[in-house]
Amino acid sequence: MAKIDFGGVIEDVVTSEEFTLEMAQEILKNETVAVLGYGVQGPAQALNMRDNGIHVIVGQRKEEQEFWDKAISDGFEPGKTLFPLEEAAEKGTIIQFLVSDAGQVEVWPKIKPFLKEGDALYFSHGFAITYRDQTGVNPAENVDVILVAPKGSGRSVRANFVAGSGINSSYAVFQDYTGKAKERTLAVGIAVGSGYLFPTTFEKEVYSDLVGERGVLMGCLAGVMEAQYNILRKQGHSPSEAFNETVEELTQSLIRLVAENGMDWMYYYCSTTAQRGALDWKSRFRDAVAPLFEELYESVASGKETKIVLESNSTPDYKEKLGKELAEIRDSEMWRAGAAVRALRPENRNKA
């Protein structure tokens, strides 16, 4: 554990310097990690662990050919390292439950009978356990229940690992039957390629995650972008101008400075005109959205958000409806303007 000062608050974090990959390999040497679900997180975590010398098998339902075939193309062999979900759960000692959150509700009763005493049931989200009154995921007392939640898309979990970097993850133990739940959790956390690991609980993980994605990371981001684009268009600015001032400058320039060295760094490298205005307006925006964030947190904590997710994600036409909603965004003037702006980037101009 390393004690790190996060803005004046000391927290214990784990990196591969104190908890080395060799330690993780030693702890996991007699374990079979069964990754159930080969969607987004599944492949990333499975491939990173396999590259790190961990014994990994994949469980995926065969009827949906796409992900089964993807596992084969990634080198998993049917009957050897690739199995139907139930069979993989039976063979695994650490069972990574990485089917979609709504899918877990349907899959849980099928895999539950295959969990053996001393197995670890692993999640990358606190969803199923925290809202178990809604999901029905109630593990028996004789298994460990653990979590490593990468704070990024599975695509980045794999891409950063391949590039020699990592994605930070939180970790938690909900149930420690074997007395080894924490070391198993940290070992898997290191093996999946986490940048660093910070402690949480299942509840805190899911609350913060649901707030984050509905808020700044995705929902709020898209909403405030639209609001600004719309006012610029309403006042007679061209789509190109409105898009550049709303999205392109952010993604191509400013947010990269924030990532590099923080918000003050970005402010410092902007014009004095921009600095003054941004400093004055920052707190007005914060205060304007604060009540909405209160409402959002409450909606998450009360279980309202997960109820909506479970209802909508388990309808048979979910993917079709999602396609329509995403097409609506893609086909809007703002994001069509975005496609044109992206195509004009020098590196994209000569592409066929």
Q: Write out the catalytic residue numbers.
A: 125
**Buried b or exposed e, range 87-113, using 16+ CB within 10 angstroms:** bbbbebbbbbbbbbbbbbbebbeebbe
Q: Specify whether the backbone of 20 is left (phi greater than 0), alpha (psi in -120 to 50) or beta.
A: beta
Question: What is the dihedral angle through the alpha carbons of 206, 207, 212, 218, rounded to the nearest 10 degrees?
Answer: 70
The single residue among 19, 46, 48, 60 that binds ligand NAP, judged by CB under 6 A, is 60
E strands in 193-257 = 194-199
Q: Which is nearer to ligand NAP, 38 or 335 (CB)?
A: 38
Cβ distance to ligand NAP smaller for residue 47 or 266: 47
CB of 5 to ligand NAP, least distance (A): 27
Among residue numbers 16 through 45, which ones bind ligand NAP (CB under 6 A)?
Answer: 37-42
Residue closest to ligand NAP, measured at CB: 39
Phi, psi of 236 (to 5 degrees): 90, 10
Q: Is 107 in the site for ligand NAP (CB under 6 A)?
A: yes
CB of 198 to ligand NAP, least distance (A): 15
Nearer to ligand NAP, 81 or 100 (CB): 100
Q: Please identify which residue in 49, 111, 137, 149 interacts with ligand NAP, judged by CB under 6 A.
A: 149
Report whether 278 contacts 263 (CB < 8 A).
no
Q: Does 98 bind ligand NAP (CB under 6 A)?
A: yes
Q: What is the CA radius of gyration of the chain?
A: 22
Q: Answer yes or no whether residue 49 interacts with ligand NAP by CB under 6 A.
A: no
CA distance 180 to 135: 26
Amino acid at 161: F
Output 169 or 246, the one with its CB closest to ligand NAP.
169
**Rounded-to-integer distance, Cα 331 and Cα 232, Å:** 19
Residue 125 near ligand NAP by CB under 6 A: yes
- Cβ-contact 148, 199 below 8 angstroms: no
Among 48, 81, 124, 185, binds ligand NAP (CB under 6 A): 124
Q: How far is the CB of 84 from ligand NAP (least distance, A)?
A: 10
- Which residue, 100 or 130, is less far from ligand NAP as judged by CB? 100
Q: Per CB under 6 A, does 61 bind ligand NAP?
A: yes
Q: Which residue has the tokens 């600004």?
A: 228
Which residues of the shown chain bind ligand NAP in the complex (CB under 6 A)?
A: 37-42, 60-61, 64, 67, 98-101, 103, 106-107, 124-125, 127, 149-150, 153-154
